[in-house]
Structure 1
C-alpha cells in the first residue's frame, strides 16, 4: 500500500467517523479502508485524554470527556446504541425491528441503554482518571473501534441499505489489520490490555449473536452499538486493574 493510499484511508476514516473540520477530498475510501478506523481512536482518545487532565475533579472531568467525545463523533455511536436497543428489544420480527432502528425517534429501551451504558462509562472513567491512567483512555478509544470493522467483515448487511450497506462489506484482511492495530495498542498496557481484549471480544460477540438471531446480520446501528459497548467494557477493565 502506498503512503498516499494510507493517508487517504486515514483521512477518509476521520471524515466518516468524526465531525472534525477536515478539508474536502475527492478521494473516497472503499470498505478496504476500514483498517484505519481504530486510528480514529488515537485522535478522539487523545483529545479526550487531554480533557481528562483538566484539574476539575475526576467526576467533572469524566463528564467532560464523554461530552467532548460525543461532539467529536457527532454522537453517531451513541445514536447507534439507542437505535439498536430500541430495535432489537422493541420489535417482534425482523421487519419491525429494522423499521424501529431506522426511525429517528428514541424509545424507552434506547433511553435506558444510553443511561446505563453512559453511567458505566462515566463511573469507570472517574476511576481511570483518578488513577492518572491517561494512556488507557487512548487505548480504549482505539480498541473500541476495531469491532466495527470485524462485524462488517463477518456478518451480512441485515437491511440492504443505510450507512453500513453503503460502505460495503469490509474485506477480512482489512478487518484483520484493524484487529492487529487494536491488539498492538492494548498490549502496551500489559496484562490489563490482555484482559481488556478478552472482555471487549466477549461483549462484541454477544452483541453479534443477538443481532444475528434477531435481524439476521449487522447494520450501522449495530456497529455503533459495538463501539459503545466495547468502550464501556474496556473502561471497566481499566478501572478494575489500574
Structure 2
C-alpha cells in the first residue's frame, strides 16, 4: 500500500513538473489523487521564494510566478494559450481541436499567457500576510480543478487528456475534493467558503462551455481551467474582505 502511494506521488510530480523522477510510477489518472498535494508543494515553494525576497515585494511576486512556470515547464500556460487560440479562431469542434494541437502560439494565445502572468504577479504582490497558506491554497485548488473537470467531463479526441481522464474514478475525485476543501480552509472559514465556491463555479462553467464548443474536454482544456482557477483564487485572496 505504501509503495503504491509513493509511486502515485512520484507519478503526480512527474506529470505536473519537469523534475526528473526515476523509478516506477503510475499512470497520470491514478496519480491524480495527489495532484492537490503537488499543488500545495508548489505553493510552499513559491512562499519560500517570496519570504526570501520579501523586502522587495514586486520583484518577489514576479519571481514566484517565474519559478512556478519553470518548475512546471509552463505546461498549464501552454494549455491556456492553446485554448485561447482555438476558441477564437475555430468555428467547429474539429477546427478548434486542430488549432489547439498546433504547437505554434497565436496572437490570442500569447495574450492569454501574458494576462495570466500579469494577473498572478499583481495578485501575489497584493496578498496580505500570512502569504504561505494563501499560495498553498491557490495552487492546490488549481490542480484539484483540473482533476475534477476531467472526472466530470467527456473526453474529446485521443490525446494525453483522454488517457488521463480514463483513469479518473469517483474515489479519486472524492479524495481530491477533500484535499481541495482542506487547502481552502487553511486561509480561514470565510476564505475557505469563497475559494471553494469560486473554484467549483469555474469548473462547472468550464465544463458547460467546453462541451458546448468542443463536445468534450482535452488536456489543454484542463490546463486552461487550472490557470483560471489559480488566477481567480489569488485575486480573491488578495482582497482583504475575502480573508477577514
In which range does the TM-score fall when normalised by the shorter chain? over 0.9
Residue equivalent to 1:21: 20
Deviations 1:92-132 (A, max 9, x none): 1010000000001111221221122222211111111x534
Greater Cα shift, 93-102 or 203-212: 203-212
User: Structure 1, residues 69-92: CA drift from partner, whole Å, max 9, x if none?
Assistant: 001100000000000111122101
Tell me, yes or no, if the aligned pair for 2:133 and 2:186 is still in contact at 8 Å: no
What secondary structure does 1:158 align onto? coil
Name the Cα RMSD after superposition. 1.4
Taking structure 1 as reference, are residues 98 and 73 closer, same or farther at Cα in structure 2, changes over 3 Å only? Answer: same
5+ residue gaps, structure 1: none
Q: Cα gap change, 1:132/1:30 in structure 2, threshold over 3 Å: closer, same or farther?
A: closer
Deviations 1:178-205 (A, max 9, x none): 1110101111212112101111222222
Question: In structure 2, what is the equivalent of residue 164 of structure 1?
Answer: 161
Q: What displacement does 1:212 show? A: 0.7
CA contact (8 A) 1:90 1:109 kept: no
CA distance in 2, matches of 1:20, 1:3: 22
In structure 2, the residue matched to 1:55 is 54
Cα deviation for residue 166 of structure 1 reads: 2.4
Query: What count of residue pairs does the alignment treat as equivalent?
Result: 238
Give the match for residue 32 of structure 1. 30
Q: Give the whole-Å Cα distance in 2 for the aligned partners of 1:202 and 1:8.
A: 32
TM-score by length of 2: 0.93
Question: Please, which runs of 5 or more residues in structure 2 have no aligned partner?
Answer: none
In the alignment, which residue of structure 1 is the partner of 2:194? 195
2: CA distance, partners of 1:117 / 1:179: 25
Counterparts of 1:11-160 in structure 2, within 5 Å, are: 11-22=10-21, 24-29=22-27, 31-53=29-51, 54-128=53-127, 131-159=129-157
Confirm or deny: 8 A CA contact 2:151 2:165 kept in the other structure: no
Q: Secondary structure at the match of 1:145?
A: helix
